[in-house]
Amino acid sequence: MNKSIPVLEIFGPTIQGEGMVIGQKTMFVRTAGCDYSCSWCDSAFTWDGSAKDDIVQMTAEEILEKLNLLGGDMFSHVTISGGNPALLKNLGYLTELLKSNGMKIAVETQGSRYQSWLADVDDLTISPKPPSSGMTTDFEKLDDIFLQLQEKGSLASASLKVVIFNEEDLEFAKKVHRRYQNIPFYLQTGNEDVHEINDDTLISKLLRRYEWLIDQVTADKDLNAARVLPQLHTLIWGNKRGV
Ligand SMILES: C[S@@+](CC[C@H](N)C(=O)[O-])C[C@H]1O[C@@H](n2cnc3c(N)ncnc32)[C@H](O)[C@@H]1O
Ligand SMILES: Nc1nc2[nH]cc(C(=O)O)c2c(=O)[nH]1
Ligand code: SF4
Ligand SMILES: [Mg+2]
């Protein structure tokens, strides 16, 4: 089989620090390449060229082998993130292989591209980007993604997660929530300091930002069904990579 999946990191077991299955023990596979360039991206090395020499082209079998080498029998859940893994048409081989080996699959993507294999994912997080990112969401594309998931009977596996840095982001998030009212909706604290190396400084600021976000949500009747979360892994390990 051809070595067609560009991989930047494989790590774990760790816990999922974000979103719908926060706390779930999982392995991570991080693919290279993104069609966005968010101003605050905490994984910019996947697309800004700074780690281009670390990209390894792997087959699905090689990825499974590496997961087993690292995780042994201490995992049954694999999260595929990036970059944008939904750029990769042939990732379906990997999701099939992992599932046939008894693993559950989660995917993190921003909702700019659809791939048929997204319908086979157990925990699908779609994370449209708010104004602070500098990106513009194509809502027709996003509508189409949810439509395709619905047609395949996979809507129940999906959730929405919007990262919030300011009030304008919150307005954007409310628009998303209104448009897709039946999709579980998560708000996540934005990390403004992705290069901070002092964990105490970072964590106390993130906790203040989390409290601010909770205050906004509790005072807003349009957000009665929202779930508000921090990035748990950042509170534990700071900006460290590979955790
Ligand atoms: C690095 S992205 C990769 C997957 C996909 N490109 C996406 O953005 O959904 C994984 C998650 O991290 C979130 N994220 C990235 N930078 C962040 C930051 N500075 N603070 C909080 N969350 C961040 C993204 O919004 C996304 O939900
Ligand atoms: N522990 C942990 N949880 C995460 N949830 C989403 C992550 C990501 O970068 O996509 C991530 C990550 O990098 N680490
Ligand atoms: S879409 Fe995700 S990986 Fe791409 S730049 Fe934005 S946060 Fe980073
Ligand atoms: Mg991350």
pLDDT tens for 26-84 read 999 999 999 999 999 999 999 999 999 999 999 999 999 999 999 999 999 999 999 99
Q: Is 95 in the pocket of ligand 1 (CB under 6 A)?
A: no
Mutate to test the pocket of ligand 3, among 84, 133, 188 (most ligand atoms within 8 A of CB): 84
- Output the CA 88–ligand 2 centroid distance in Å: 19
- Report which residue type is found at 25: K
* Interval 205-227: pLDDT, tens: 999 999 999 999 999 999 999 99
What number is the ipTM of this complex? 0.99
Pairing label, strands 5-15, 158-164: unpaired
Q: Is 112 in the pocket of ligand 1 (CB under 6 A)?
A: no
Tally of CB atoms within 10 A around 58: 20
- Give the neighbor-by-neighbor strand order of the sheet with 123-126: 56-58, 5-15, 25-31, 77-81, 104-109, 123-126, 158-164, 185-189, 227-229
Domain that holds residue 46: 5-237
Bridge partners of residue 9, in order along the sequence: 30
Mutate to test the pocket of ligand 2, among 34, 81, 159 (most ligand atoms within 8 A of CB): 81
Q: How many structural domains does the chain have?
A: 1
- Output the CA 43–ligand 4 centroid distance in Å: 6
Q: What is the mean pLDDT of the chain?
A: 98
Residue 226 belongs to domain with CATH number: 3.20.20.70
Residue 243 placed within a domain: no
Using pLDDT thresholds of 50, 70 and 90, give the confidence band for residue 2. low
